[in-house]
Structure 1
Amino acid sequence: MSTEDRSTEASAIYRRYLSAALLHAQAGARACGLGATDLYALNILDLDGAMTPGELSARTGLTTGPTTRLIDRLEQGGYVRRVPDASDRRKVVVEPIGQPAELDRMLAPARGKIGEIISGYSSEQRAMLFDYFDRAATAFQQAVSEME
């Protein structure tokens, strides 16, 4: 197999992986009665904590109007609340207060299967995988900012 063929095959495998992960996230969101962007926003808030609507807008790629509606839906669902910013009371921050109860149940089967796959690697291989995940996340975030 030529270098070009291996590169094409590697690209196809990676694209299939990304598509499957995206499809799984969308299915998990639907199963919890959420939109994919809603679940994505909850993940951002869970990972990074409270932020202004503008910061959430930038992180989700939504404009102001859709971000407001997103926050409204999440607030109505009991997942976030708007609170005054401690440093500037004219501002509001969106604070996570909950996750969909069924989310862990919906995601558990895939998490278990992925955990089994990862546990089959040596500690050095796992370290390399998680180094890749960390560095690739940064690369994707940088690529997004360069597209804007």
Structure 2
Amino acid sequence: MTQPEPIDPAAAVGLGREFATALVVFHEAVGRLLGLSAVERKCIDLLKQLGPVTAGAIGERTGLTTGAVTRLIDRLGKAGYVERVPDPDDRRKVVVRLLPNERMDALMASAFIPFGEDLAKVMANYTEAETRVILDWVHRTTEVLVANTRRIEHQQH
């Protein structure tokens, strides 16, 4: 049985950079469909996942500073995607709620349904064990990205 070739660290970094660039460019393109930046679009995605949350929760999940989150919510509110409302559990707090938007839903579907179908085809090439490793990598890499986003944001202030 032959051993697999060792992974070239420089090639791995290059592939990671290529992947990250493709991911950011894809999300920028989806954002442009909605008239938003990638960060604004991802904030909408976050609100779809979590439901109404405080600005602080958005900051915790994105790694953005309080000021950056406030400006982000202001832009999304002005564009008609979100609104600030009293927290139903604690009326002293305000939460950010995603507004219904059929146009946004249709544009998101036009971008993500084909993307999801293509990813399903890619994942069909892997065994269950390989898929678990891939998902573990995605999970761990996401944690590293969030932590480093927070680190960089805090360096700026």
TM-score range, shorter chain: 0.7 to 0.9
Q: Give the Å deviation of 1:49.
A: 2.6
Q: 1:134 & 1:13 partners in 2: Cα distance?
A: 18
TM-score using structure 1 length: 0.81
Q: How does 1:28-47 map to 2 (within 5 A)?
A: 28-47=30-49
Q: Give the Å deviation of 1:122.
A: 1.1
In the alignment of these two chains, the number of paired residues is 146
Contact 2:64 2:149 in 1 (8 A): no
TM-score using structure 2 length: 0.77
Q: 1:50 & 1:25 partners in 2: Cα distance?
A: 22
- Paired amino acid for 1:79: Y
- Percent identity between matched residues is 30
For the aligned residues, what is the CA RMSD?
A: 2.5
Which stretch has the larger CA shift, 82-91 or 116-125? 82-91
Name 2:149's counterpart in structure 1.
144
Q: Give the Å deviation of 1:132.
A: 1.3
Q: Give the Å deviation of 1:135.
A: 1.8
- Spell out structure 1 runs of 4+ moving beyond 6 A: none
- Structure 1 pair 60–140 and aligned structure 2 pair: CA distance change class (3 A): closer
Name 1:117's counterpart in structure 2.
122
- Structure 1 pair 66–16 and aligned structure 2 pair: CA distance change class (3 A): same
In structure 2, list runs of 5 or more residues that go unmatched. none
Secondary structure, aligned partner of 1:90: strand
- Paired amino acid for 2:108: L
Q: 2:8 & 2:65 partners in 1: Cα distance?
A: 40
